[in-house]
A and B are shown apart, each in its own frame.
Chain A
């Protein structure tokens, strides 16, 4: 037997010592022999074995008397039985009836009183229509589609439970037919839109407070919102936007508690993430599952395809995998952040009931890169689009959209960075759900409604560290930190130069006793220099910087800002960080901007936010001395009277126009992207190997379309006129040219921002501005004046230019 096998190591014997000591080790004779051999050799393990033996024997003794240390408490079946009676949905079944009768037999007093109560209630209820003269009218049961809580698959019925003074039911704002799931969490977002249905049975108006705690494994988030509960027993829908942790742990839970001058209500909800998933959502009256074929249809289709795969020898694949969520108009998000988890939103019949706040949020979401499909009953007016808005006709739907007859007019409207597609067929009708092609039809329509840019909240650049280039590149918070090279020179000069040289000089001159004077003098000089370099740090103040993306469209009086702020706290304490108009406030992740202030990892991962219905703030942010904190926020901010423009192209390739900037902001480094009508043709000759003759070369051409760029530089408030030659850029150059969307010119980007604009259908103004009036208002602003990237879509060009073709680098 080799030595290594004969003698085991402590690390392999250790985990088995307990069983060995307790005599429960299930091992072969050889294994046992090896352990014993190890024990003979290793005194540490022998000691350990003895300790384990004592501990296991004691535990075994304890296990032998399982009631040890436990105060006796007799089982109380009656209380369980009472609760089951209250909650049992199977009351009407025969078996349950038998069971209940048995229970009644054992409690005759209860049975008699229940019978009497039931009889009285029935007689009283029956007497009401008789007294009111309604007995001849047919009792009509209405399907209250207008109610906030009725749905086809949700079985919430307020009368099912005995009425508590205040009742609460919590669900996802965009419910899924598969059950509760977070829809707002996608990509970089950490907000989970919820809706709480609160019923006030107290008969008077009361004030309550809903708190939501995310008990995630990696973080602790708390969201609070005060609510006013009107008198009345109708459920009142409260829309909530809590921030959740970014962990993918299997056990993720939200604990929702309602407190007030009434018994508290608490609900625990599990949730899951859906990163990278195509998520379609429907707002209207159609109900759950209307975007998907019926379950049986999907199953049948999968069986057929999987059988085909099996025959063809493919690995088992899944088909028709996508998610369809649903919200009633009454509980659709009234903040833009509520829509950010959705890839494409479908509006159908009933969407006209969306209130102004919901419509405004929806419009802002589309402007920021959202995608909407309008079914016949939904109107353009929902998104604030006029009937005469220019559109692109897309008539050829088949065969990519199998359920839409060929030639059906589909219209695509551009609204800001987003897109709106009108479809004249109501695809939520039940008959379509019998067809598996429904999935592919939605797939095609989703492609046609693809926005110009992705939803801005999903752009990594929106959450990127505020621009670090410029004057304060090395010390953005102006803490007065000395440059590293200076510190190195100082230490090198003192330890390697001043001290040795002084020593040598004193020794050579035989004045070593002077060292009593030169030593302290040099030390004082060194200390003074170090203090001089760090003195500014003591004077540093509470400061902040903000960066991100600000997106709007021409004439719009609001803009959406998605950004990240960093705050420097010189002294420890609890700070009130308010962010005007913030729809959500989340923790920024770890990164270079935390400047090493990671603490134990816990401080940076807990956040308490309070939502007052208008904005989400952080009223108590506890920090230690010299702390940095990062907060993400999404805001819909006032934008003055917005930006309007009048642009046209001249025949000689000049872009001429006027921009009216009524936002009150100065826009720096401005560019305008114009729709590209230029066709670039690359010619290639492919050698024909079959004939091998020069004249048999095959000619091929490639055509691509590019955006054109006009550089305007500075757009101050007021009117700016310009006349510039346009420049041709390809898609990727857009990415490289605009700070905020990627790396600033000539500066290496700290991280790659994977964003580029598709071919723009309308002109887009891209510029930079300061983040001073955006983000938190705490402390002084020290950010770069170019930290925020502005993107505004402008009206179409007044006159369509002639198509120009560049052939082999020249213009034709």
Chain B
């Protein structure tokens, strides 16, 4: 697992020294990097970018299902984050802050799509090959490699069939591992309504997933 992925998946790294931010032998925390970025230190912001760029790209891709657009969103997210860094109060994590911007941008992009629908959506078969390979690397037994790759592909297809809102909430909770409060902030709803939405999303996902299984005759 790469260093950036480790940071992405840890919930709060604001006070944890980051190897990527080492300077003059001392380790910099995320908070230090943000403070320096606020002062205009572009190098510090670059380190934050290195830490979070991949995660933001993935999040955008999962919502938009288009690699080029996800790349655009990543770039836009960091530009906006930098421009409004002075307003970042640190109440939520920096990752949540980035995800909020990213999520809003994705929603805007999807709204534009609705007005100018594209001819087809989804992942090209060649792109999906990455899935299987990635999972296959993790397993040693060839049979379980294949099974797990199939399973992941099935999950991805089920997620793919979900409407955007439940997909977003499901990914934030189960893939990004965010807390209810953080999800509420990103989605823009109350803390109380998140579990309800989550319950509905899970139920929809379960139905779609099982339907896929049935289609495949398992």
Chain B proximity mask over A72-96: 1 for CB below 8 Å, otherwise 0: 1101110111011001101001011
- Would you call B152 and A83 a contact (CB within 8 A)? no
Minimum C-beta distance from A163 to chain B (A): 19
Residues of B near A98 (CB, < 8 A) are 40-41
Instruction: Say how far A18's CB is from chain B's closest CB, in angstroms.
Output: 5
Evaluate contact between B130 and A71: CB separation under 8 angstroms: yes
- Asked if B40 contacts A80 (CB within 8 A), the reply is no
A67 CA to B121 CA in the complex, in Å? Answer: 19
A103 touching B42 in the complex, CB below 8 Å, given contacts A18-B202, A59-B174: yes
B142 to A: closest C-beta gap in Å: 17
Contact B111 A215 (CB under 8 A): yes
Contact A73 B70 (CB under 8 A): yes
Q: Which of B12-20, B26-34, B72-80, B94-102 is the interface stretch?
A: B72-80
For the complex, what is the distance from the CA of A71 to the CA of B66, rounded to whole Å? Answer: 9
Q: Which of B82, B154, B213 is the one whose CB lies under 8 Å from A84?
A: B82
Report the separation of the CA atoms of residues A99 and B47 in the bound assembly, to the nearest whole angstrom: 13
Tell me which of A47-55, A399-407, A697-705, A764-772 binds B.
Answer: A47-55
Q: Mark B84-125, 1 if CB is under 8 A from A, else 0.
A: 000000000000000000000000100110010000000100
Which residues in A have their C-beta under 8 angstroms from that of B112?
255
Cβ of A688 within 8 Å of any chain B Cβ, yes or no, is no
CB distance from A298 to the nearest CB of B (A): 22
* Most B CB within 10 A of own CB, among A15, A62, A70, A76: A70
Check if A69 sits within 8 Å of B111, measured CB to CB. Answer: no
What are the interface flags for A232-261 relative to B under an 8 Å C-beta threshold, 1 for contact and 0 otherwise? Answer: 000000000000000000110101000000
- Known contacts A59-B155, A73-B71, A80-B75; is-contact A52 B202 (Cβ 8 Å): yes
B154 → chain A closest CB, angstroms: 7
How near does chain A come to B121, taking the closest CB pair, in angstroms? Answer: 14
The number of chain B residues touching the other chain, given as a range, is 35 or more
Asked if A73 meets B57 with Cβ closer than 8 Å, knowing A62-B156, A63-B174, A250-B188, the reply is yes
Whole-angstrom distance between the Cβ of A203 and the nearest chain B Cβ: 29
In the complex, the answer to whether B40 meets A90 with C-beta atoms within 8 Å is: yes
Residue B54 interfacial (CB < 8 Å) = yes
Interface majority SS (helix, strand, loop, mixed), chain B:
helix
Q: How many residues of A contact B (CB 8 A)?
A: 51
Distance between B210 CB and nearest chain A CB, rounded to angstroms: 6
User: Are B111 and A84 within 8 A (Cβ)?
Assistant: no
Q: Give the residue of B42, B82, B130, B152 whose beta carbon is less than 8 angstroms from that of A61.
A: B152
Name the interface residues of B33-66: CB closer than 8 Å to any CB of A.
Answer: 36, 39-46, 49-50, 53-55, 57-58, 61-62
Contact B210 A54 (CB under 8 A): yes
Interface flag for A100 (CB, 8 Å): yes
Contact indicator B153/A69 (Cβ below 8 Å)? yes
Which of A71, A79, A95, A215 has its CB near the most chain B CB atoms (within 10 A)? A71
Query: A77–B130 contact, CB under 8 A?
Result: no
Contact between B79 and A58, CB atoms less than 8 A apart:
no
A67–B128 Cα gap in the complex (Å)? 11
- A522-541 near B? 1/0 per residue, CB < 8 Å: 00000000000000000000
- B205's partner among A55, A73, A103 (CB-CB below 8 A) is A55
Contact A75/B82 with A15-B199, A68-B152, A98-B41 known, Cβ cut-off 8 Å: no
Whose C-beta in chain A lies nearest to the C-beta of B76? A83
User: Which residues in B have their C-beta under 8 angstroms from that of A96?
Assistant: 40, 42
Contact of A75 among B74, B79, B170 (CB under 8 A): B74
Given contacts A51-B206, A62-B155, A68-B135, contact A84 B42 (CB under 8 A): yes
Q: Which residues of B contact A268 (CB under 8 A)?
A: 108
Q: Does B193 contact A (CB under 8 A)?
A: no
Chain A positions within 8 Å of B174 at CB level? 59-60, 63
For residue B209, which residues in chain A have a CB less than 8 angstroms away from its CB? 54-55, 58
Interface of A is mostly: helix
By the criterion CB–CB under 8 Å, are A65 and B202 in contact?
no
Let me know if B130 and A62 touch, CB within 8 A.
no
Total number of residue pairs linking A and B with CB closer than 8 Å: 148
Q: State in angstroms the CA–CA spacing of A255 and B115 once bound together.
A: 11
Chain A residues whose CB sits within 8 angstroms of the CB of B127 once the complex forms:
69, 71
B67 in contact (CB, < 8 A): yes
CB <8 Å contact, B40 and A15: no
Q: Judge whether A77 and B46 touch: CB under 8 Å.
A: yes
B151 and A65 contacting across the interface, CB-CB below 8 Å: no
Separation of A81 and B82 alpha carbons in the complex (Å):
10
Kindly provide the distance from the CB of A88 to the nearest chain B CB, expressed in whole angstroms.
Answer: 8
Q: Which of A437-453 contact B (CB under 8 A)?
A: none
Question: Is A95 a contact of B41 with CB atoms below 8 Å?
Answer: yes
Q: Is B3 an interface residue (CB 8 A)?
A: no
Q: Are B58's CB and A99's CB within 8 A?
A: no
**Min CB–CB distance B15 → chain A (angstroms):** 23
A510 at interface by CB-CB < 8 Å:
no
Q: Which residue of B lies closest to A250 (CB)?
A: B188
Q: A417 interface residue, CB < 8 Å from B?
A: no
Question: Is A213 an interface residue, CB under 8 A from the partner?
Answer: yes
B134 at the binding interface (Cβ < 8 Å): yes
**Interface 1/0s, chain A 145-158, versus B by CB < 8 A?**
00000000000000
A257 to B97, CA, bound (A): 27
Write out the residue numbers on chain A whose beta carbons fall within 8 Å of the beta carbon of B41: 95, 98-99
- Say yes or no: A67-B79 contact (C-beta < 8 A), given A15-B199, A52-B206, A98-B41: no
Q: How far is the CA of A268 from the CA of B112 in the complex (A)?
A: 11
Q: Tell which of A62, A63, A75, A97 touches B53, judged by Cβ atoms closer than 8 Å.
A: A75
Within the complex, the shortest CB–CB distance from B186 to chain A, in Å, comes to: 13
- Is residue B165 within 8 Å, beta carbon to beta carbon, of the partner chain? no
Question: B138 contacts which of A65, A72, A76 (Cβ < 8 Å)?
Answer: A65
Residues of A within 8 A of B42 (CB): 81, 84, 96, 99-100, 102-103
Q: Which residue of B lies closest to A80 (CB)?
A: B78
Q: Which B residues touch A65, using CB under 8 A?
A: 134-135, 138, 152
The answer for the CA separation of A102 and B40 in the assembled complex, in Å, is 12
Residues of B within 8 A of A100 (CB): 42
With beta carbons under 8 angstroms apart, the residue of A61, A87, A251 that contacts B79 is: A87
Determine the residue in chain A with the shortest Cβ distance to B86.
A90
Query: B134 contacts which of A15, A67, A90, A251 (Cβ < 8 Å)?
Result: A67
B109 CB to nearest chain A CB (Å): 11
Interface centre among A55, A98, A255 (most CB of B within 10 A): A55
A313 is an interface residue with CB less than 8 A from chain B: no
Shortest C-beta distance, B83 to chain A (Å), equals 7
Closest beta carbon of chain B to A623's beta carbon, Å: 21
Contacts of A54 in B (CB 8 A): 209-210, 213
For the complex, is B175 an interface residue (Cβ under 8 Å from A)? yes
Tell me whether A2 is interfacial, beta carbon within 8 Å: no
User: A66 an interface residue at 8 Å Cβ cutoff?
Assistant: yes
Instruction: For the complex, give the distance between the alpha carbons of A668 and B40 in Å.
Output: 73
Tell whether, in the assembled complex, residue A55 and residue B202 are in contact, meaning their CB atoms are under 8 Å apart: yes
User: Is B61 a contact partner of A58 (Cβ separation < 8 A)?
Assistant: no
> Shortest distance in angstroms between B138's beta carbon and chain A's nearest beta carbon?
7
User: Nearest-CB distance from B178 to chain A (Å)?
Assistant: 12
Within 8 A of A (CB), among B124-150: 127-128, 130-131, 134-135, 138, 148
Tell me whether B5 is interfacial, beta carbon within 8 Å: yes
A79–B79 CA distance with the chains assembled, in angstroms? 10
A87 touches B83 (CB 8 A): yes
Bound together, the chains give a CA A90 to CA B8 distance in angstroms of 29
A698 to nearest B CB, angstroms?
59
Q: For residue B123, which residues in chain A have a CB less than 8 angstroms away from its CB? A: 69, 71
- On chain A, the residues within 8 Å of B75 by CB distance are 76, 79-80, 83
Q: Which residue of A lies closest to B188 (CB)?
A: A251
**List of B residues within 8 angstroms of A58 by Cβ:** 151-152, 154-155, 209
**Once the chains are docked, how many angstroms separate the CA of A392 from the CA of B44?**
68
**A61-B151, A68-B135, A73-B57 known; A99-B40 Cβ under 8 A:** yes
Contacts of A99 in B (CB 8 A): 40-44
Additional 10 contacts, C-beta under 8 A, given A68-B130, A87-B79, A268-B108: A55-B205, A59-B205, A68-B152, A71-B123, A76-B71, A84-B42, A88-B82, A99-B41, A103-B42, A253-B108
What 7 A-B pairs are tightest by C-beta distance, nearest first?
A: A96-B40, A99-B42, A75-B53, A95-B40, A55-B206, A62-B155, A69-B156
